[in-house]
C-alpha cells in the first residue's frame, strides 16, 4: 500500500475522518428521527467539533502579530576567512529560508500601525542544520539582562485590571532602567512605526561570534538593509492607514510577492577583534549599545530575496518557531546576558505553545538529514523502525559528527549577581537625538511629553525621565522639563 506523508496534495476526492474513513454526509448530525436528539455515537460530528475547539494554540506572549514569507539567501562576498559556516562558504551559494516579521507587544488581531518594535527573524535551512537569526528592526534593546524581561513585558502589556495598555505603567518601570534610553531614542522617534515590512531594517541585535577553521574568533554584528530604502509613518498617516486596513503591512508583503516584485535585503556585518573589547567606552557585548560605524564599517556579505508567499498561515506562520540557540558550526554565542537567557527562553516558549516535538513540524524541521534519540512525547509523528534508541551501541553504526571549532576562552570569578562595568547609558542616546533635524527632534520631544503628561504619571517618574534625558542631551532635558512645567535639572548630577 502506498504511503502518503501529511500534505494537501494527497487529498482524496471525498470527505474523510482524520483516520481516513469516508464521510458520506458532512452537513447533518446523526439524530433520532429528523428532529433529534443528537447521538453521541456520531464519531465524525464529535471529531469535527473537538478539532475545531482546539484550532487555536496559545498565542505568543510576545511577537504574536506577524507574517511570514519564503525565499533564499545568496552569498555575494567571501567571508570564509572569518567563519566555517557552510552556507557562507563562497559567493554564489544559495540557501533557502523563511522570514517572519512581527510586532512585539500587541496581540494577534492588533493594528500594524501601533508604535512598537518589530521582530525581524530569519530561519536559514542550511546543509548543516538550521540557523535562526532572531532580531528586531531596532539595533538595540531595552534591557541588558534577561532577569528583567518578564517585568518589562508586563509593564508594556495591558493593565491586568483594565485590560488596556496604559503607558504610565511602562514609564514607571523604565524610570528605574536608564539603560533603556537608547532603545527609546528609536522607539519614540519616527522609527517607531515602519511604513511596511519591505521598508524596514533588521538587526541581529546581539553580538555573535564567528569562528574560522583555525579556531580564530571574531565578534560580529548582523545588519539587514532593505534595497528599497527605509520609510516610516508619522502619527497622522498611521491613523489613516490603520483606520483603512489594520493589516496593511501583511497585505503589502503578500501582494508585492504575488505580483513578482520580490523584496530584497542586503546582509552586512560589523566585526571586532575580541582582544579590543576593552578599548572603548562601551561594552561591545551590551545589547543596549551599537558599534559606531566610523570605527566598525559595514561589510557586505550577501542578499536575502523573498520570492514565495507561505501556503498556509497556521502551518508556516503560527507554527513557525525561532530560537536564538539554533546556530550552525562557525557561528557561536557571546556572553551577552540577554543573549544567554534568550537561548533558553525561546525554545521553552515554543515547547509550551507547540509541544516538545515542535522542531518536527515541517516549517521548523531542518532540510538536511538528521538523526538523534529525541523521540516520543506529545505529537511525535516521525516514523521510526529502529530497535536501538540509545547511544552508543554496537548494533547502530551512527557516530559523532566531525568536531567543529568552539570558543577557547576560559572563565574565572566568584558567583555574583552584578551589572556590567561600562554601563554608559546616556551617550549613544544623546548622539542619536542630535542627528535628528529640528522637526524630527520636536516630534520626538512631544511623544515623550504626551506619555509623561498622563495624570497617573507621578512627579517622581517625570523627574527621573527629565534627569535621564538631560544626561543624554542637556537641551532635550530642558525642553522636556519646560513642556512638563518642571524645573530644569543640571547635566552631570
| CB-CB contact of 77 with 301 (8 Å) | yes
Q: Place 493 in a pLDDT band, splitting at 50, 70 and 90.
A: very low
Which residues define the annotated binding site?
Answer: 346
Which residues define the annotated binding site for heme?
Answer: 346
Report how far residue 438's alpha carbon sits from residue 194's, in angstroms, rounded to the nearest whole number: 20
| Catalytic pick among 130, 136, 196, 424 | 136
Tell me, yes or no, if 400 is annotated catalytic: no
Residue whose C-alpha cell reads 495591558 in the numeric block:
158
Beta strands at 264-272 and 299-309: parallel, antiparallel or unpaired: antiparallel
| CB-CB contact of 272 with 219 (8 Å) | yes
Provide the pLDDT for residue 2.
Answer: 67
* H runs (alpha helix) in 355-458: 427-433, 438-452
Task: Please state the φ and ψ torsions of residue 70, each to the nearest 5 degrees.
Answer: -110, 160
Provide the pLDDT for residue 4.
Answer: 65
pTM of the model: 0.94
Q: Place 489 in a pLDDT band, splitting at 50, 70 and 90.
A: confident
| CB-CB contact of 389 with 374 (8 Å) | no
Give the mean pLDDT of 27-32: 92
CB within 8 A of 480, min separation 6: which ones?
445, 448, 449, 452, 465, 466, 469
| CB-CB contact of 66 with 321 (8 Å) | no
Alpha carbon dihedral 335, 336, 341, 345, in 10-degree steps, equals -120
Q: 58-82 pLDDT, tens per residue?
A: 999 999 999 999 999 999 999 999 9
Looking at every residue in the chain, the average pLDDT score rounds to 94
Give the mean pLDDT of 441-466: 97
| CB-CB contact of 139 with 156 (8 Å) | no
Q: Place 291 in a pLDDT band, splitting at 50, 70 and 90.
A: very high
Evaluated on CA atoms 100, 101, 107, 109, the torsion sign reads negative
3-class DSSP state of 47? helix
Q: Bridge-partner residues for 219, per DSSP?
A: 209, 272
Q: 335-368 pLDDT, tens per residue?
A: 999 999 999 999 999 999 999 999 999 999 999 9
Report how far residue 381's alpha carbon sits from residue 359's, in angstroms, rounded to the nearest whole number: 11
Element (H, E) at 478: helix 474-483
| Catalytic pick among 63, 182, 206, 223 | 63
Q: Place 3 in a pLDDT band, splitting at 50, 70 and 90.
A: low
Report how far residue 414's alpha carbon sits from residue 115's, in angstroms, rounded to the nearest whole number: 42
Tell me, yes or no, if 199 is annotated catalytic: no
| CB-CB contact of 164 with 107 (8 Å) | no
Report how far residue 490's alpha carbon sits from residue 469's, in angstroms, rounded to the nearest whole number: 11
Amino acid at each position: 500500500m502506498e504511503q502518503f506523508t501529511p500534505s494537501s496534495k494527497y487529498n482524496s476526492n471525498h470527505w474523510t475522518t482524520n483516520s481516513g474513513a469516508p464521510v458520506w454526509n458532512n452537513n447533518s448530525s446523526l439524530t433520532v428521527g429528523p428532529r433529534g436528539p443528537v447521538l453521541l455515537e456520531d464519531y465524525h460530528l464529535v471529531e469535527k467539533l473537538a478539532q475545531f475547539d482546539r484550532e487555536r494554540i496559545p498565542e505568543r506572549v510576545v511577537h504574536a502579530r506577524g507574517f511570514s514569507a519564503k525565499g533564499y539567501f545568496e552569498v555575494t562576498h567571501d567571508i570564509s576567512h572569518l567563519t566555517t559556516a557552510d552556507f557562507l562558504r563562497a559567493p554564489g551559494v544559495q540557501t533557502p529560508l523563511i522570514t517572519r516579521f512581527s510586532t512585539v507587544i500587541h496581540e494577534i488581531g492588533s493594528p500594524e500601525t501601533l508604535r512598537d518594535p518589530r521582530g525581524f527573524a530569519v530561519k536559514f535551512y542550511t546543509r548543516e542544520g538550521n540557523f535562526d537569526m532572531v532580531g528586531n528592526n531596532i539595533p538595540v534593546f531595552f534591557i541588558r539582562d534577561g532577569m528583567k524581561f518578564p517585568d518589562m513585558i508586563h509593564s508594556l502589556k495591558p493593565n491586568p485590571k483594565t485590560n488596556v495598555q496604559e503607558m504610565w505603567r511602562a514609564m514607571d518601570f523604565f524610570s528605574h532602567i536608564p539603560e533603556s534610553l537608547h532603545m527609546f531614542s528609536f522607539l519614540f522617534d519616527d522609527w517607531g512605526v515602519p511604513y511596511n515590512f519591505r521598508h524596514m531594517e533588521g538587526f541581529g541585535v546581539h553580538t555573535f561570534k564567528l569562528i574560522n577553521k583555525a579556531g580564530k574568533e571574531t565578534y560580529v554584528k548582523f545588519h539587514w538593509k532593505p534595497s528599497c530604502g527605509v520609510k516610516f509613518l508619522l502619527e497622522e498617516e498611521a491613523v489613516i492607514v490603520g483606520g483603512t486596513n489594520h493589516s496593511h503591512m501583511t497585505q503589502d508583503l503578500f501582494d508585492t510577492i504575488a505580483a513578482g516584485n520580490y523584496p530584497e535585503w542586503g546582509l552586512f556585518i560589523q566585526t571586532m577583534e575580541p582582544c579590543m573589547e576593552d578599548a572603548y567606552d562601551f561594552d561591545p557585548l551590551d545589547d543596549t549599545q551599537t558599534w559606531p560605524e566610523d570605527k566598525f564599517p559595514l561589510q557586505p556579505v550577501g542578499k536575502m530575496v523573498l520570492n514565495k508567499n507561505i501556503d498556509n498561515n497556521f502551518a508556516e506562520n503560527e507554527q513557525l518557531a525561532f530560537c536564538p540557540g539554533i546556530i550552525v558550526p562557525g557561528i557561536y554565542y557571546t556572553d551577552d546576558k540577554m543573549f544567554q537567557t534568550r537561548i533558553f527562553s525561546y525554545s521553552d516558549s515554543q515547547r509550551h505553545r507547540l509541544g516538545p516535538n515542535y522542531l518536527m513540524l515541517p516549517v521548523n524541521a531542518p532540510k538536511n538529514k538528521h538523526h538523534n534519540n529525541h523521540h516520543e512525547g506529545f505529537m511525535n509523528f516521525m516514523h521510526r523502525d529502529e530497535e536501538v534508541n540509545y547511544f552508543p551501541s554496537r548494533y547502530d553504526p551512527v557516530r559523532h559528527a566531525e568536531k567543529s571549532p568552539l570558543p577557547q576562552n576560559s572563565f574565572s570569578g566568584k558567583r555574583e549577581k552584578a551589572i556590567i562595568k561600562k554601563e554608559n547609558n546616556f551617550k549613544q542616546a544623546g548622539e542619536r537625538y542630535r542627528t535628528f533635524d529640528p522637526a524630527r527632534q520636536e516630534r520626538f520631544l512631544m511623544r515623550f511629553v504626551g506619555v509623561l503628561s498622563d495624570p497617573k504619571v507621578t512627579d517622581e517618574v517625570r523627574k527621573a525621565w527629565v534627569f535621564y534625558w538631560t544626561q543624554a542631551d542637556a537641551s532635550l532635558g530642558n525642553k522636556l522639563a519646560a513642556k512638563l512645567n518642571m524645573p530644569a535639572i543640571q547635566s552631570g548630577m
